[in-house]
A and B are shown apart, each in its own frame.
Chain A
Amino acid sequence: NAGVMQNPRHLVRRRGQEARLRCSPMKGHSHVYWYRQLPEEGLKFMVYLQKENIIDESGMPKERFSAEFPKEGPSILRIQQVVRGDSAAYFCASSPGANYGYTFGSGTRLTVV
């Protein structure tokens, strides 16, 4: 039973490019959460999605960031026109439902050069 799969593990983008981060939840999990960890900080909540629905995006920056969790396929976190300050580790977590059984993926480390 594979855990939460995130890819790529490392992503390098030039300023102004787009970054796409993918997250495949654990089998049977329909709830996905995205968190961001800036250097020397804890993880910060970004967005909570269920299949085809964004439930809570209160932690998402208002511009350039978007997330989706389509009926088929992984959840995608998209960052348009990346800037240096977007460099961080982005973690996805999934759960089977509205309970506290989070499982985190290994993260995608985004570096903007």
Chain B
Amino acid sequence: DQQVKQNSPSLSVQEGRISILNCDYTNSMFDYFLWYKKYPAEGPTFLISISSIKDKNEDGRFTVFLNKSAKHLSLHIVPSQPGDSAVYFCAALRELQGAQKLVFGQGTRLTINP
């Protein structure tokens, strides 16, 4: 049962343009949604998050949008830079017994072309 889905395995964007990564979820009980960035041979690095009661959160070049009615969130990166090339994971968090259990999507490989 895939509760968090990233339907695009890969995305290629020209440097300077906007990158839009998408994520869908099925469980309405999630408390937060997070985006992680992962380089090869490294662990995921937290990028940005959004509470389930918000619809937008912005941090520099990164903005996350949440559409609760559609159970959809997206990460916008603008302008895209070569260093943004990585695998991006969408994750949903639910607090259970005080634990912060993350449910991850399959990831989207973003390639920024010069």
Nearest B residue to A40 via CB reads B106
Q: How many residues of B contact A (CB 8 A)?
A: 28
The reply to whether A98 and B104 form a contact with Cβ atoms under 8 Å apart is no
Q: Least Cβ distance of A14 to chain B in Å?
A: 23
Question: Is B44 close to A, CB under 8 A?
Answer: yes
Q: Is the interface of B mostly helix, strand, loop or mixed?
A: strand
Known: A43-B89, A55-B97, A56-B96. A102 touches B46 (CB 8 A): yes
Residue in A4, A40, A41, A56 whose beta carbon sits within 8 Å of that of B43 in the complex? A4
Query: How many residue pairs at the A-B interface have CB separations less than 8 Å?
Result: 66
Q: How large is the interface on A (under 10, 10 to 19, 20 to 34, 35 or more residues)?
A: 20 to 34
Q: Is the interface of A mostly helix, strand, loop or mixed?
A: strand
Question: Is B95 close to A, CB under 8 A?
Answer: yes
Question: Is B112 close to A, CB under 8 A?
Answer: no
Using a CB–CB distance below 8 Å, which chain A residues touch chain B? 4, 6, 9, 31, 33, 35, 40-45, 48, 55-56, 91, 93, 95, 98-100, 102-107, 109
Q: Given contacts A35-B104, A55-B99, A91-B44, could you give 14 more A-B pairs where the C-beta distance is less than 8 Å?
A: A33-B100, A40-B106, A42-B4, A43-B89, A45-B101, A45-B102, A56-B96, A98-B100, A100-B32, A100-B93, A104-B36, A106-B42, A107-B41, A107-B43
